Chain A
Amino acid sequence: MILSQIRELLNAELVSEQEAHSIDIKFAKASDLMSDVLAFSQPFSDRNTLLITGLTNKQVVRTCEIAGIGAIVFVRGKNPSAETIELAQQCNIPLLTTKLKMYEVCGILYTNGVSGASTYGDEEKRNEK
């Protein structure tokens, strides 16, 4: 699903200047623990994963850059600091913010076809067969 569609579904605001229509999101993970995001990152990093989180500090953006995550949505109406936005722009990672809670965001995206990150690779396996 294109990021701009996700933005509409979540009634979210784009808080950084990247173009939201250029990113195709297939997977999502939701966590406030950055070490868990790193520990369970996929063996490939083609930036088609979205991180759903309530943390807004710079380390969230760094974690996404390291783990190859393509975009971030901040939940519970949280707004990242200017520093976080600046880093996200440097790393080319779009930031969205929504008033919805984490559980609601997960539910909406899941029912609209965004898979959990643990299913990563299933599609490749199917294609190989």
Chain B
Amino acid sequence: MKNRVLFQQEFEIQGGDFVNAGESSCKIRNTLREIGINSDIIRRIAIAAYEAEMNVVMYAQHGTMKINVYQDNILLIIDDKGPGIENIELAMKPGFSTATEEMREMGFGAGMGLPNIKKNSDVFQITSKVGQGTSLEIKILLNGKNG
């Protein structure tokens, strides 16, 4: 069974919680290390997860991050309840950002988040509804381009 989930974990992300931002991604990183996933794959997943988690913290009210480990890929799904993204094409452009001064002071909001997630994914999907929220699906193949 190729599509059987070997491992699954879910995290809640609180919008505006800058103190704990990144904790879930660090947990994911540590868990994947324990399962024995290749370190380069772990780095890519951790970066994608962290950028996505920061986006929820910075822009949304609330979100969930799910990780599913399959035989041949790892799937990260991030859903948030928030303002959504009006123009996804623009949001994907490196350097484009709607971040506040507070976010920038933390070293984020430089308009590299979504491009960075895409760069580390083998398959990347984003859907968004203005006024409702944004969903990301990030797939990284275990025998993919850099693995």
Contacts and interface: CB of A to CB of B under 8 A. Distances in A.
B146 A43 contact: yes
Contact of A55 (B29, B40, B107): B107
A5 interface: no
B107 A34 contact: yes
A83 B108 CA distance: 19
B55 to A, nearest CB: 11
A38 B26 contact: no
Contact of B22 (A41, A53, A66): A66
Contacts of B26: 62, 65-66, 91
Interface string B111-131: 111011001000000000000
B43 A35 contact: no
A82 interface: no
A32 interface: yes
Interface residues of B, number: 30
If over half of B's interface residues share one DSSP class (helix, strand or loop), that class is named, otherwise mixed; here it is helix
Interface string A30-53: 001111111101011100000001
A39 B119 contact: yes
Contacts of A67: 43, 46-47
A47 B143 CA distance: 24
A57 interface: yes
A35 B113 contact: yes
B21 interface: yes
A34 B109 CA distance: 9
A79 B29 CA distance: 28
A66 B107 CA distance: 15
B126 to A, nearest CB: 17
B116 A62 contact: no
Contacts of A91: 26
A57 B106 contact: yes
A118 B108 CA distance: 21
16 contacts: A34-B106, A35-B51, A35-B108, A35-B110, A35-B113, A37-B107, A38-B112, A39-B112, A39-B115, A41-B43, A41-B47, A43-B43, A45-B39, A45-B43, A59-B18, A59-B21
